[in-house]
Amino acid sequence: MKQGIYLYLIGTAGSGKSTLASTFKEWTQTRGIDCILCNLDPGAENLPYTPDVDIRDWISLKEIMDEHGLGPNGAQVACADLLVFNLEDIKESIQSFKTDYILLDAPGQIELFVFRESGKMLMNTLQPDRSLVGYLIDQVLASKPTGFITQLLLSLTVQYRIGLPQINLLSKSDLFSDIELAEIVSWAKDPELLETALSYQEASVYREMNEGILRLLEGFIHQTNMFPTSKEEYFGIEDLYTHMQQLYEGGEDVLPD
């Protein structure tokens, strides 16, 4: 059986998960690489792509709300827990494609997938030894040192909770100027540069807290790659693809001859 690589796109609401999934799929199509998209959000509306596998075929947020008289939040929790009962069907559906790449677009409510057991069970049921988490760093929060540190902390929490190899993806990077983007990329590579940028913030208890958090994160920063990405001209997608190939295929390319 063909062994595909699974990429879970996880991040806060509005961070660009669905857009990145669509962009990656378009990029693979232009290069003859097999890739499918799996939507894991039962309440998703107006996706920028047509899912090849869709959790809404098994679980519908609206139906759960109507049947059980729940509000949107309660229904989302119920849907997350119901995922457990459909794991084998989802696995069978995904594996029927026999593809190179499987992109899984996680729910916008990050806590529903990361902090409930159902999300972890899904990952363990599929292909955990060929899976990678892409944590999307929101570009709005990344623009300031304090916001960037907050995102790194949440990314570390996701990695601690899930336990799979993980990379950070700076989404919507085209919204930054070249200078701004270069600075943020430098923060991701060198904690001392991030600490220097933080020192220019107004002195406060909040800044001291961020300095303490940064010291905690220093080792994590050195061990985690960050790739800026954008839908504009598929910026960063090839870098992401190359990293996954090196991680799971020893650098062997699946591009057709």
Mean pLDDT, range 57-74, rounded to an integer? 89
Segments making up each domain of the chain, as ranges: 5-249
Point out which residues pair with 10 in neighbouring strands. 135
* Residues 135 and 169 sit within 8 Å (Cβ to Cβ): yes
CATH architecture under which domain 5-249 falls: 3-Layer(aba) Sandwich (3.40)
Its pTM surpasses 0.75: yes
pLDDT tens-place string over residues 215-252:
888 877 777 889 999 999 999 999 999 999 998 887 55
Q: Which letter, b or e, does each residue of 139-150 get, where b requires 16 or more Cβ atoms within 10 Å of its Cβ? A: bebbeebbbbbb
d(Cα 237, Cα 234) in Å, to the nearest integer? 6
Residue-wise pLDDT tens digits, 163-192: 999 999 998 999 999 999 999 999 998 889
Which of 113, 39, 112 shows the shortest CA–CA distance to 72? 112
Quick one: pLDDT at residue 13? 87
Mean pLDDT of 145-172: 92
Looking at residues 186-215, what average pLDDT do you find? 89
